[in-house]
Structure 1
Amino acid sequence: MNVMNDSPRRKELTRQAAQLFVQAGFDRTTVRMLAQEMGIKSGSLFHHFRDKQEILTAVIEEGTQNALIIAKAALEQCDNSAEARLQAMARAHLETLLTDRNAHVVALYEWRRLDPEARDHLSHLRDAYEALWETVIDEALAAGLIHGDRFLVARFVMGALNWTVRWYDPSGPRSPDDLAHELVAMITHRPV
């Protein structure tokens, strides 16, 4: 299975599909709705995608690829201290939510709608992203910066960050950096 495609038109269609999946949900989004949103005929949609399942896969794949790119760049640009790396990952995760919000929301809420083949295809990307978090959390645990079970710490941190898609207002008084600092302060028991 290969759903990634560098075609600018396909990327735009994927972006529009992500928005519609967030608004209506994958199950309630019809091919006709997708085509109308994309400004094409229903049959033309199948020139770009095999079916609706492939569109969902493309949305999640592109969003997860972008999250990996942002996280890796953040880790390369920060110093090597456990706290800086934890801060960089939290900030990168929030940046992903802000720059690619719809794809991220679709990945969070519609993953269960993927067929087994698509899940298998995308699992390596999800696992790679989670592995970055686990490495950073292991470093923070080893440095004594945080305490607890790595699996639980990772799930709590990512869960808290993922939930920001429901309440965070980018035009509000707190920046993504503020949120990342606050999260790290909470889990490390340090003042902001």
Structure 2
Amino acid sequence: MNVINASPRRKELTRLAAQLFVQEGFDRTTVRMLAQEMGIKSGSLFHHFRDKQEILAAVIEEGTQNALNIAHRALELAGDDPDSRLRAMARAHLETLFTDRNAHVVALFEWRRLDPSARAHLSHLRDAYEALWVEVIDEALEAGLIHGDRFLVSRFILGALNWTVRWYDPGGSRSPDDLADELVFMIMPKTP
């Protein structure tokens, strides 16, 4: 499966498709709508992609790869302190949501629309991203920074972070860093 492609034009088309998938939903988005949004003829779309399914896979792959890159960079800068690493991952996740919002929203809400071969192809990226979270959560659990079952803690954190795409106002009083710090603060046990 040839999904990621370094072509600037294909990247631009993928970005436009992500925007349309967010606005209309994958199922309601037609090839004609995609071509119109991209400023090309419907037939020209197939010069860049085999079909609408490949466009969806490209959007999710590019967004997930960007999330992985941002997370790796954040963890490198955070050092070895479990608290710093947990905060860095929360900030990185929000950075991904707010800088690549459409791709992330598509990955969250349209993953189930991927055909089985695309899902199999992309699972390694999603799993690699979740593995970073598990590593950081394990470190925080071992350090006593947080408590609970690793699976539930990771689902709680990711769920809370992901849901911000629905309610967060970038022009509001809280920065993404403030949000990340507040989330980490909320999951840490309170000292008497």
What amino acid is the match of 2:92?
A: A
- What SS does the aligned partner of 1:27 have? coil
Q: Deviations over 1:24-77 (max 9, x none)?
A: 000000000000000000000000000000000000000000000000000000
Other-structure match for 2:148: 148
> Which residue of structure 2 lines up, in the alignment, with residue 94 of structure 1?
94
Give the counterpart letter for 1:189 in structure 2: P
Contact 2:147 2:189 in 1 (8 A): no
Q: Is residue 2:174 matched to residue 1:174?
A: yes
Deviation at 1:2, TM superposition (A): 2.1
Write the distance in 2 (CA, Å) between the matches of 1:190 and 1:65.
Answer: 36
Structure 2 CA distance for aligned equivalents of residues 190 and 106 of structure 1: 36
SS in 2 for 1:117: helix
Runs of 4+ residues deviating >4 angstroms: none
Provide the residue aligned with 2:47 in structure 1. 47
Q: Distance in 2 between matches of 1:189 and 1:65?
A: 33
**Aligned positions of 1:1-192 closer than 5 A:** 1-189=1-189
CA distance in 1 between partners of 2:189 and 2:89 (Å): 18
Question: Following the alignment from structure 1 to structure 2, what is the Cα–Cα distance between the partners of residues 106 and 22?
Answer: 6
Amino acid in structure 1 at the alignment position of 2:175: S
SS of 2:146's partner is coil
Quote how far apart the aligned CAs of 1:80 are. 1.2
- TM-score, normalization: structure 2? 0.98
Deviation at 1:171, TM superposition (A): 1.0
Calculate the TM-score normalised by the size of structure 1.
0.98
